[in-house]
Amino acid sequence: MITIAVVLASTRPGRRGRAVAEWALGHAAARADARFELVDLAEIDLPPLDEPLPPATGRYTHEHTRSWARTVAAYDGFLFVTPEYNHSAPGTLKNALDRVHAEWNNKAAGFVSYGFDGGVRAVEALRPVLGALQIADVSAQVALSLHHDFTDFTDFTPAEHQTAALTSTLDQLVAWSTALATLRPAARPATADGAALSPAAREAP
């Protein structure tokens, strides 16, 4: 059975994302076709990118990067729970995406976004980033409005139709994650420091 990470992107105090992620996890737990686990970037606490070599080389020098690489490698797909900040996604999520490379490849991703306009611009900003990492992003998504899915812009009270949107997103995410698993080797070559080496780096002179 495949395993999918529900990645909670917001790290702000008082964030609404925790309630959103728990809602998504609660519905996902009822499924019999995949396992779902929470990955909270506030708990991962990655510093700004501090690797001397491009992540595509697979040569990670810091233990926090190697630890994050192992976390990413453990999952077959990702459901990103993200707010929208200034028409884009949080810098913490972009930093987490940029830090490793091969561990993301040939996996699938879906989105649960939230904001005044449903967080849709955050998702649109993320789609080309995921493409560069060879992550296949599904078309269905959940867009939660602070006007209609939160009471007083604070307490998460999703409208009834959002459950159907989540189901569609999870259906696509599980299907694509399962299909893409056939493209990934059982074990990747590793560098001397134990990090996975990307196909591009393996082919480099």
Q: Where are the domains of the chain?
A: 2-203
80-84 average pLDDT score? 97
Q: Is 147 exposed, middle or buried (0-12, 13-18, 19+ CB in 10 A)?
A: exposed
**Which DSSP helix (H) or strand (E) runs through 27?**
helix 17-28
Contacts of 157 (CB under 8 A, 6+ apart): 149, 150, 151
pLDDT over 50 at 76, yes or no: yes
Q: Is 154 exposed, middle or buried (0-12, 13-18, 19+ CB in 10 A)?
A: exposed
The structure's pTM equals: 0.89
DSSP secondary structure, 37-49, as one string: EEEEHHHH-PPSP
User: CA 202: distance to chain centroid?
Assistant: 25
118-138 average pLDDT score? 97
pLDDT at 198: 41
Contacts of 28 (CB under 8 A, 6+ apart): 4, 6, 34, 36, 79, 170
pLDDT at 184: 86
Q: According to CATH, what is the number of the domain 2-203?
A: 3.40.50.360
pLDDT over 80 at 197, yes or no: no
User: Average per-residue pLDDT in the chain?
Assistant: 91
**Which DSSP helix (H) or strand (E) runs through 127?**
helix 120-132
pLDDT over 80 at 192, yes or no: no
pLDDT over 70 at 193, yes or no: no
Helix (H, G, I), strand (E, B) or coil at 160: coil
pLDDT over 70 at 182, yes or no: yes
pLDDT at 194: 44
Side chain identity at 42, as an amino acid letter? Answer: A
